[in-house]
A and B are shown apart, each in its own frame.
Chain A
Amino acid sequence: MAEINLSRIVKKYGDGFPAVNDVSLRIADGEFVILVGPSGSGKSTLLRMIVGLEDITDGELTIDGERANEKAPRDRGLAMVFQNYALYPHMTVFENIAFPLRLAKDLGEEEIRRKVEQAASMLELGEHLERKPANLSGGQRQRVAMGRAIVRDAKAFLFDEPLSNLDAKLRGQMRTEIARMQRRLGTTTVYVTHDQTEAMTLGDKVAVLKRGELQQYASPQELYDEPINLFVAGFIGSPPMNFIPVRNQDGVLHSPFGPIPVTARDEAALAEAPELLIAGIRPEAFEDAALLDDATRQDRAVISATVDVTEWLGNEVYAYLPFEADAEVSQALAELDRDLDGESLRTQVVAALDSRTRIGAGDAVDLAFVPESVKLFDPRTGRNLSRDDENAARIAERSEAARQQALERAREQHSGAA
Chain B
Amino acid sequence: MDTGKLTTGRKILWAVVSVLVAVYALFPVVWIISLSLKSPSDVGNQQFWPTAVSWENYELIFTGQASELFVPALINSIGICLIATAIAVVLATLTAYAVSRLDFPGKKFILTMALGVSIFPVISIVTPLFNLWSRIGLYDTWLGLIIPYLSLTLPISIWTLAAFFRQIPWELEQAAQVDGATSWQAFRKVIVPLASPGVFTTAIIAFFIAWNDFLYGISLTSTSAARPVPAALSFFTGASQFEEPAGAIAAAAIVVTIPVVVLVLLFQRQIVAGLTSGAVKG
Interface on A for B, CB 8 Å cutoff? 51-53, 72-74, 78-80, 82, 84-90, 99-100, 103-104, 132-136, 138, 141, 148, 152, 165
Contacts and interface: CB of A to CB of B under 8 A. Distances in A.
B280 interface: yes
A99 B171 contact: no
A326 B173 CA distance: 53
Given A88-B190, A103-B181, A148-B179, A134 B171 contact: no
A111 B124 CA distance: 66
A148 to B, nearest CB: 7
A80 B194 contact: no
Given A85-B281, A132-B278, 8 more contacts: A53-B177, A74-B177, A79-B179, A85-B279, A88-B175, A89-B194, A89-B277, A99-B189
Contacts of B259: none
Contact of B171 (A79, A82, A104, A141): A82
A132 B277 CA distance: 10
Nearest to B183: A72
Interface size class on chain B is 20 to 34
Interface in B176-226: 176-182, 185, 189-190, 193-194
Q: List the 3 closest A-B pairs by CB distance, nearest first.
A: A134-B278, A86-B175, A133-B278
B279 A88 contact: yes
Contacts of B179: 74, 79, 99-100, 103, 148
A104 B179 CA distance: 9
A141 B169 CA distance: 15
29 contacts: A51-B178, A52-B177, A53-B174, A72-B177, A73-B178, A74-B177, A74-B180, A80-B178, A82-B175, A84-B171, A84-B280, A85-B280, A85-B281, A86-B169, A86-B172, A86-B174, A87-B279, A87-B280, A88-B176, A89-B276, A90-B275, A99-B176, A99-B179, A103-B181, A103-B185, A132-B278, A134-B277, A141-B281, A148-B179
Contact of B278 (A53, A99, A103, A135): A135
Given A53-B174, A53-B177, A80-B175, A86 B182 contact: no
B221 to A, nearest CB: 43
B281 A165 contact: yes
Contacts of B276: 89
A140 B281 CA distance: 11
A100 B186 CA distance: 11
A55 to B, nearest CB: 13
Given A132-B278, A141-B281, A90 B177 contact: no
A90 B185 CA distance: 15
Q: Which of A99, A104, A132, A133 has the most CB of B within 10 A?
A: A99
A148 B275 CA distance: 21
Contact of B275 (A79, A86, A89): A89
A138 B171 CA distance: 18
Interface string B73-115: 0000000000000000000000000000000000000000000
Nearest to B179: A100
Contact of A90 (B171, B181, B193): B193
A84 B275 contact: no
Contact of A74 (B171, B182, B279): B182
Interface string B46-87: 000000000000000000000000000000000000000000
Contact of A84 (B178, B180, B194, B281): B281
A88 B191 CA distance: 9
Contacts of A88: 172, 175-176, 190, 279
Contacts of B278: 87, 89, 132-136, 141
